[in-house]
Structure 1
Amino acid sequence: MKADDIFKTIAEPSDEILFKDRKSKFYGYAFPITSEDEVKPIIEKLRKKHHTANHVCYAWQLGEKVYNYRANDDGEPNNSAGMPIYGQIQAFEITNVLVAVARIFGGTKLGVGGLIQAYRTAAQIALENASIVENTIASFFKLHFEYPIMDKVMRIIKQKGITIVSQKMELTCILTISVRESEGKETKILFDEMQHVRIKTLH
């Protein structure tokens, strides 16, 4: 059973793949993304790269527990491109990803059924060529404590394998730490019970 605080994504942009159907060419790509703002520049770049492409269709999904997604047919018949691409994102159970397919028309119409099949296949091959990785969802906390107990705090951080995201060491020390979401409760209790340490949940 998959842990609640694990999600799958891709490690890096996939290599370009090419799927052909009745002389139409479908170039497929997969990109890791962390926000919707990244989508437009990537699509613009693909339009420049494939300046003879009639359509650059795509779908993306963001989020680790609650998902946000969009599918775009870019002028192809309704739901014949974006949704079949999105279907592959779902089939591979990945998130924080953009999958795009550029189509260069080969002179023969494929019909809606043919388009669905072609876009789905191009998206599938692109994702098969991507390196899919498992990441853990993190919980973040801020610790406030006085300098004299720094050793004690650091010892616990080291023992528990807690990640320090940022630190400000002055008279009052402020540390931002991150742990796996499933260990968040235990970490909060651990520092709550320590004298002279204040812990605040960030997100």
Structure 2
Amino acid sequence: MSLFEDTYRTINAPITGIFKDKGSKFIAYGFPFEDEQDLKDLLTEVKNEHPKARHHCYAYRLGMDRTVYRINDDGEPAGSAGRPILNTLLSNDLTNTLMIVVRYFGGTLLGIPGLIHAYKTATQDAIDQAEIIEKHERDIYEISFEYPQMNDIMRLVKDDNLEIIKQDFEISCLMQIAIRKSIVNRLADQFASLPNIKLKYLRTI
């Protein structure tokens, strides 16, 4: 099946996987992931669950561009943990996904090839448990407007079934909406054509 240019594959819900080798145990945790600001909380959550683990290595990929990613070996030899985790996400064509792999050291050194295999296999085991879904890449915009324009704004939101991320009507009218990439130019022009509307791009998810 051919995909639209703004369609990507990701996991539907948190996942776990495991791999054991020579006494060492590698436990992989995968999370749907759209905002880098969530990294600290998710990493803390896993570390609190495994405070005695030797390493908490991770990799994530965001968006459809293969250059938007981050890896961390957390004390393992360079390139032996974060990179194989990321490569496993890439080989499964997954994005907007964070994978954290916890290692309990079993007393026997595995060597760099052994570590690469272990982190890759634990990650793949978690992915094998996942429900893979297709989602559309969307841009988040913030709209500021006056109360009399509320009906016009809501009509555009309803006509294209846009997701409202956040809204605040207490002091002034502010709304954050998600617009699918393939229609963002058309919708941005429609919002901008309304009087006294301020439209600001925030991020892509």
What is the TM-score when the length of structure 2 is the normalising length? 0.74
Give the 3 Å change call, closer, same or farther, for CA 139–29 of structure 1 in structure 2: closer
Partner of 1:108: 108
Q: Is 2:144–2:199's contact at 8 Å kept on the other side of the alignment?
A: no
Instruction: Compare CA radii of gyration and give the structure with the larger one.
Output: 1
The alpha carbon displacement at 1:192 in A equals: 6.3
Give the 3 Å change call, closer, same or farther, for CA 188–57 of structure 1 in structure 2: closer
Say whether 1:202 aligns with 2:200.
yes
Partner of 2:5: 4
Tell me how far apart the structure 2 counterparts of residues 151 and 48 of structure 1 sit (CA, whole Å).
47
Aligned runs of 1:37-116 on 2, under 5 Å? 37-65=37-65, 67-116=67-116
Deviations along 1:150-185, one digit per CA (max 9) or x if unpaired, are: 76776565444345564859xxx8876543221223
What amino acid is the match of 1:202?
K
What is the TM-score when the length of structure 1 is the normalising length? 0.74
Give the 3 Å change call, closer, same or farther, for CA 64–168 of structure 1 in structure 2: farther
Tell me how far apart the structure 2 counterparts of residues 140 and 21 of structure 1 sit (CA, whole Å).
47
Tell me how far apart the structure 2 counterparts of residues 80 and 150 of structure 1 sit (CA, whole Å).
53
Give the 3 Å change call, closer, same or farther, for CA 197–177 of structure 1 in structure 2: farther
* Secondary structure at the counterpart of residue 43 of structure 2: helix
The alpha carbon displacement at 1:77 in A equals: 1.6
Is the deviation greater in 107-116 or in 65-74?
65-74
Aligned runs of 1:162-177 on 2, under 5 Å? 162-163=162-163, 166=167
Tell me how far apart the structure 2 counterparts of residues 45 and 163 of structure 1 sit (CA, whole Å).
28
Give the 3 Å change call, closer, same or farther, for CA 52–188 of structure 1 in structure 2: closer
Q: Is 1:139–1:180's contact at 8 Å kept on the other side of the alignment?
A: no
Give the 3 Å change call, closer, same or farther, for CA 182–60 of structure 1 in structure 2: same
Aligned runs of 1:129-168 on 2, under 5 Å? 129-136=129-136, 137-138=138-139, 140=141, 142=143, 147=148, 158-163=158-163, 166=167
Structure 2, unmatched stretches of 5+, are none
Partner of 2:29: 29
Tell me how far apart the structure 1 counterparts of residues 102 and 177 of structure 2 sit (CA, whole Å).
42
Is the deviation greater in 34-43 or in 22-31?
34-43
Tell me how far apart the structure 2 counterparts of residues 38 and 139 of structure 1 sit (CA, whole Å).
17
Deviations along 1:26-79, one digit per CA (max 9) or x if unpaired, are: 111112233333323333333332233222211122345575322111222221
What amino acid is the match of 1:71?
I
Partner of 1:121: 121
Identity %: 36
Q: Is 2:61–2:69's contact at 8 Å kept on the other side of the alignment?
A: yes
Q: Is 2:142–2:177's contact at 8 Å kept on the other side of the alignment?
A: yes
